[in-house]
Structure 1
Amino acid sequence: MSRPNILVLGLMNEDYLSDLFSPLMSSMRAVATVKSVTRIKEAKAILSSNTPPTAVLSIDAAPTQSKYRSLNEQLVRYARAGGVVVFGCNFSNHFSFDTAERFFRAWGVPWELGHYHRTTVYLNADGVQGMDLTGLESSYSVKALNLTQVLPTSAVYSPSQDSRTQSHVFAATSVDTSQTPAAYSAIGDGYLGYTGDVNAEEPTTKVIMAMLHLPTNQIVPDTSDRIVGVSFGPGGVMRQIRQSEMNARTTAASESPGAVSSSPQTEASEPNDSESESSSSSSYEKYEKGRRGTARGIPPRIVSSVLRPREAEVATRAVRRNQVNERKKAAAEKLKDKGNNVFKAGKYSQAVDFYKQACKTYKPLPVYMSNLAAALIKLERWDEAEMAADHAILVDPTLLKGYFRRGVARRHYGKPKGAVRDFERCLEMDPNCAEFKTELEAARKERDEENKRQGYNEDDADRYDVDSDYEAKLVFNLGRDFAPERTVHVLDCPSDSEEHQHKGKGKGKGVKLPCRYYNHKGCQFGKVCRYKHAPDDRSIRDELGRNVCLHFLIDRCKFGDQCWYAHEKMYLPSNGWWNEENLGGWQELYDLVKEDMDDGVFDRIGSAMNGTADIWRIRDNLDMLVDDWQNAADDGSEDDSDDDFYGLGMTRGRRARDMQFEREMEERAGNMGFTEDEVNELLCQGVKPWDDDAWDVLNALNNY
């Protein structure tokens, strides 16, 4: 009998996988002929040959990416014709929420991404169609990215009612028993398999073998002392974690009275979950803790012993940023202290300057903004005082002084309704404060007088409340850039290299264009590159210093692989708005105003989305949005026309110019930064767009 032919796809070229999953590879080679490919052309040629493979195993998430869509479509056809395709190993570590729906839809299965955690799962006693479960473990502890919407007959393993999350950080909680870490389903005449194990558990090796229709009794034992992860120590020094060390920890954990589980590998055996000094793990755990119990708690970034390929570079950059950040924080504290001293001396204008400098030097912490509000109140600059106190409250909703100072500012600024709400909150926090009671009584009196002048009954719920809608800016999430458990500013200090300031060298239109090479695989020209490496209002800085496309993060980028910016969330913090169910509200806001902005949506809100805007710019942009919203509501018109809905003077002529600009950007994206006309002009001179002197030639022609 001939040996089965297994095609292994590793198109993302993650070299460390060969070591991490060596037991699986050895087990497959013991009973089958294994062919590993890293190039799409070779993979497609094998799949379309006269002797296609018996089964295909994709060890990474390349088929989920748009540039490999044609390959995934070919895999679907191969499976429907009777083939077997399994996605496992490191697949789930890069399987993102924003691509899952499209990916599973292409396969014709209703599967969706579920929760990410470690728990004990149990083998399907009723069996799985098309898969021999003989030899598989009856139960084991696995840390996996689970699937939901999987039929019971397709779930290989599932948790029981007694299964609990296993962590040394947080208390155990119940898990969704309808979710599964391993699924197997018929696709036409063939089969589709999935394993979400983010590590290299031996029981999962048996699962993959069974899905590939290979004997599970031929598993090669893992006797090597291979590298299974890394941890980072002081100064960002990377240390490799070997199998022998993890085995020792597993033994110690199983012998400990407080061990979470007696399974072969528990949460305690994963150094990156509880022992790594990198901050990414704790950030993820906090994020996931807040999302537990939701219907779709898919984490944006998998934190496990299998680290991101460029994790060492991330750690090195983080050390440099933290060093600069600490210096900035110390300088800001000195400025705050100077502000306090001059405030006590009655020099309120100087105090305002010092507090603002502190905010700009480090970041607008609640204490800085609250102190600024107090100084502005002394100067009777009520609108600015309201803004400062408002920002302090948005960041720290428990700040009593913030509510009081905002209430005082609102009272004097002619907003008694908002002042009443603020003073009521103050009394909820401190019911015995006489000053709060006095201010509240005065604010209520002013509110009632205003209502009487306007003929407004307080019980009229349909009345448009300006103050209330002013507070509705929370819908836009503007100003929440430093709120606890939330990351809008990707990096407190993004200037870990000269690239952050690089605006491009030379002359010509190309100087204003982002460098596609820098934002993707790296630019060889560095600080002499003619293109821009610095961030802008259309991108957000990640932990590798790349600029990630904001359009991509809200699923609105139409350039795909040709985009100048990076299209990857892997190196963005896991608790950012880009991984929330509603994308932080940004997608909704973008769609709402896209057709009515004469200067581009991101020109108005991009800096708030990527954390580069200071609070005063955020407030100005927010004021315009809220005012436009108010004007539209006050108008009461039932006209469906939206040509000038926001009162920005947007005309169809301007909209046409916007469309023309977008068409030009599409041309430049596909022509090395040149328009079609410019390319033709260069070709007439015998110059190709990719030639080093192309921009110099074009500049010379323009000058001539």
Structure 2
Amino acid sequence: MSSSSKGSHLIRYYSKLIEVYIQLSLYEEAEATATRVLTVDPSNLTVRLKRGHSRRRIGHYVGALVDFETVLSIPPKLDTAQVLHHDEALRQRDIVINTLGCSYAELTRTHPIKIEEYNRPALSHISLTSNEEKPITQVFLDEPLPTNCRFYNHLGCRRGKKCLFSHAPDTRSIRDDLGKNVCLYHLIGKCKWDSFSCIYSHSKDNLPSEYIIDEDTSKPSWWTDSARVKVVRELVEQRDARRKKIHEQSERARQQNTDRNKSKKKKKKKNDSDDKPPPNASPDKVPPPDSFSSTNSNCDETLVFDWESESNSDEELEFEDVESTSSDILSYGNKPWEHEEDKALVVALDDLHT
């Protein structure tokens, strides 16, 4: 895998991670992850729009306004997803301007240094037009792997990039200042493992106690606020319930497909065994080859093709198995013991008596 394709794969992963953080109301983590992605790819307008949305939900309105204005500064291409992003940024910008009570131009004149700080990493036209590979992606973004590294989250991993386990953030953990992943379920009080058995860290020492929004204002972290912890716990439980329901539905569908295939194989095997002649049968009693054709005959001498009689219902297949020829004869008003040979014998005896 080339560096450019690998970098795009990692950026897509982290972009999905930002969406999950926003759905769980973890806006601080969403903002931090978006800033990390923008450091690698400052031309990613989708991630910048998500960072502006996260900043607005935190209460960081000035930073959110900077992100929305940056997205709106790039004209969108027609008939693409950029048009939707442009409309969303326009709507979000109007909300922030109504909240602040001033426009972006006024903030640029009064606080140019602060606007420049909030715009980092800055979007330049060179980054939009250049198609060069970015090897820096491998330095800033960790490769997500199926299993998280327990040593990395506790005592530290000595293998570094050669480790076969993941050092990247995921939706089950929160990144602290040392880069370790702290268990999300431990923060909401629902982790079933202790601090030694869990693959994530259970230490809150390196987690920030508050987020600095502006120079003079700050907001406490969500894990120190009991009301926000309750909200996150409910959202995580709803997410886990949806995942469990989807898993049960997929397992049920897989089991139904397995049972259906078994019943079809059993039916086919039974039909093959019925069509085979007995081992001691004489050649004269073997049915002619025409009887093994792809059609069946009813009592009224009408032909029923196999594709008309096939059915996917198990009840219909069982009904066809137990169906007997005597029921067909009774349906036409004949007794099951009256066969064609007996009828012919009775007619011949009557002719002799007359």
> TM-score category by the smaller chain?
0.3 to 0.5
Q: Which has the higher helix share?
A: 2
TM-score, length-scaled by structure 2? 0.36
Q: Report which structure shows greater RCO (CA 8 Å, sep ≥6).
A: 2
Structure possessing the higher radius of gyration over alpha carbons: 2
Q: Which has the higher strand share?
A: 1
TM-score, length-scaled by structure 1? 0.19
